[in-house]
Amino acid sequence: MGEKLQFTELDQYLFGQGTHYDIYRKLGAHPVKEGNQEGVYFAVWAPNAQGISVIGEFNEWDEQANPMTKAGPIGVFETFVPGAKIGQLYKFFIIGMNGEHIYKADPYANESELRPGTASRITDIRDFKWKDGTWMKNRQKFDETKDAMSIYEVHPGSWRKHPATEEDEKGFYNYRELAVKLAEYVKDMGYTHVELMGIAEHPFDGSWGYQVTGYYAPTSRYGTPQDFKYLVDYLHRQKIGVILDWVPAHFPKDAHGLANFDGTAVYEHADPRQGEHPDWGTKIYNYGRPEVKNFLIANALFWIEECHVDGLRVDAVASMLYLDYGKNDGQWVANKYGGNQNLEAIEFFKHLNTVVLGRNHGTVMIAEESTAWPKVTGKAEDDGLGFSLKWNMGWMNDFLEYMKLDPYFRKFNHNKMTFSMTYAYSEKYVLVISHDEVVHLKKSMLEKMPGELDDKFKNLKAAYTFMFCHPGKKLLFMGQEFGQLREWSEERELDWFLLGEEKHRDLKDFVRDLLKMYRKYPALYGMDGDPFGFEWINADDGDRSIYSFVRKSPTKRNNLLVVCNFTPVDRPDYRVGVPKKKQYTQLLDENGMTSKKVFKAEKQECDNRPFSFAYPLPAYGVAIFQY
């Protein structure tokens, strides 16, 4: 129970400026004591409402029982309801500007009723006892430009499921069960972080959480807000970071959500050319309105500061930056200079990233941005957007196009695998194979590969080796590490039964070897953003479709030489040029970690280098050497 609350003049001022960073402690529903009465303080922003009352299980949903009073000119309504209790459902009953009757869930609610119900639930999120102090202290030293980062992207509802029952037709794991099982798996594999999809409350399972109605509420599908905090806390105690998908680009039109909140456009632009995505059937936030910016920035801080999350992956950034994104002529409005850049969204990103990262050292803000917009990861003061990292969609498209090809045609597309190095240092990148690449008839990673089943596994091992040795952080969607055959569906759990088959187990073990090697050798991550950290040995061997390059360590010790063969041709005496006349110890081949065979460089020219050595390179073979 907190002490008495009220929406003060200072609250009004800060909220009106868009800088009330813990506004979620005031708006919403908060169990408090007024005098000797226990109850709940409710507050909601609805600037054009004629009147509002709070209705719920505490007053039999009576629209007259608990009217709210307007606290000042900004349009916040508040009231204290004695006797209202944690666990009870509620909504706001709003009389709109034109007298219409509107029933809305609380935009700042910390818990929601399980869908298909749409009411908010009173809860107290402050009563959780955190035990992740060591992680939180160490987090401040984390530096994404110098530290390893390999992310396992997970949709909690379909990673694993219980058998369905009549009471529980979906068989979801609770956050607490998920914590234990997921931590065990992720730790064994060697990922540094998990990225969780669909955590903020959303009405429709099939949206995967990208159409949010409860920005401040962990979805009740998997338990309570306390259960969610337990998941984060437990993962932290197992030394695993947690990133959430976050969706500030748009919101759905569901009647109980943010759309047309008080009968007028409150969170969205009133003009549909600015306020709607025709393709997605969703509303676009009005980033020029301080209270709307405040809602979103405080929400990012809520997940990071209140729920201890280590970073946010910001969805659909391009759709926010371009006013004409997904629109035809006549469907959008130019900015004041006549251009298609959304000036308010640019300002929003600079504000957001500066505040979040400035207040929370060691956290990350990751942009999913698919265009060539400049300086996405540049500093805000240098006219950048201020993100920590950006998804490398260009690399991903080229890489997948190349890997899908019949090996015979790869020689004509050799530059698809080398082109990414021409822009590798223009941003700070994450290489991603996300859920988007394994749905909508795009096939799973294994099924994208050419050839018979045996060939598919060999191709995929070579692909993953190339990916893990290429500069950039790593992200792999769940199931792709063991060769899921079917496309992903949120309706069912991953096909774990495949691990009963040797080939799938072998692929999983190989990915685990790559992940462990990635973390062990700073050459693979310590100089991702430094052109001196990468050097081609041979980028032009198109006829044989072989790539060789060096990754250098920041300490100059334990540098790595990497060779990948993307054809089914055996090269029993393949010769590779090397930077120095040293000993080269093989750490990994297509069978995983190896017995550390040693090769001595000799004075024989190869790949335009004076020194080289020869070794057997099998069909679809890969090799990582340490020197």
Q: With cut-offs at 50, 70 and 90, classify the pLDDT of residue 153.
A: very high
Same fold across 9-127 and 531-626: yes
- pLDDT tops 90 at residue 2: no
What pLDDT does 611 receive? 96
- pLDDT tops 90 at residue 210: no
78-135 tens-digit pLDDT: 999 999 999 999 999 999 999 999 999 999 999 999 999 999 999 999 989 999 999 9
Q: Which residue has the tokens 């007298």?
A: 99
Fold of 531-626: Immunoglobulin-like (2.60.40)
Question: What are the extents of the domains in the chain?
Answer: 9-127, 148-247+286-524, 531-626
Fold of 9-127: Immunoglobulin-like (2.60.40)
**Overall pTM surpassing 0.75 (yes/no):** yes
What pLDDT does 169 receive? 75
For the question of residue 368 being annotated catalytic, the response is yes
What pLDDT does 474 receive? 98
- pLDDT tops 90 at residue 199: yes
- pLDDT tops 90 at residue 324: yes
What pLDDT does 468 receive? 98
What pLDDT does 3 receive? 80
Determine the average pLDDT of the residues in 315-324.
95
User: Which of 144, 268, 368, 528 does the annotation list as catalytic?
Assistant: 368
Sequence-separated (6 or more) residues with CB below 8 Å from residue 167: none
536-582 tens-digit pLDDT: 999 999 999 999 999 999 998 999 999 999 999 999 999 999 999 99
Q: What percent of the chain lies above the pLDDT cut of 90?
A: 92
Burial of 116 (0-12, 13-18, 19+ CB in 10 A): exposed
Neighbours of 482 (CB within 10 A): 24
344-355 tens-digit pLDDT: 999 999 999 999
For the question of residue 487 being annotated catalytic, the response is no
Sequence-separated (6 or more) residues with CB below 8 Å from residue 584: 561, 578, 598, 599, 600, 601, 613, 625, 626, 627
Tokens representing 108 are: 């700042």
Determine the average pLDDT of the residues in 476-491.
95
Sequence-separated (6 or more) residues with CB below 8 Å from residue 33: 1, 2, 3, 4, 39
CA–CA gap between residue 399 and residue 243 (Å, rounded): 25
What pLDDT does 133 receive? 96
Q: What percent of the chain lies above the pLDDT cut of 70?
A: 100
Q: With cut-offs at 50, 70 and 90, classify the pLDDT of residue 72.
A: confident
What pLDDT does 165 receive? 76
User: Which of 262, 268, 276, 315 does the annotation list as catalytic?
Assistant: 315
Q: Which residue has the tokens 């040797």?
A: 502
CATH homologous superfamily of 148-247+286-524 equals Glycosidases (3.20.20.80)
363-396 tens-digit pLDDT: 999 999 988 899 999 999 999 999 999 999 999 9
Rounded to the nearest integer, the mean pLDDT of the chain is: 95
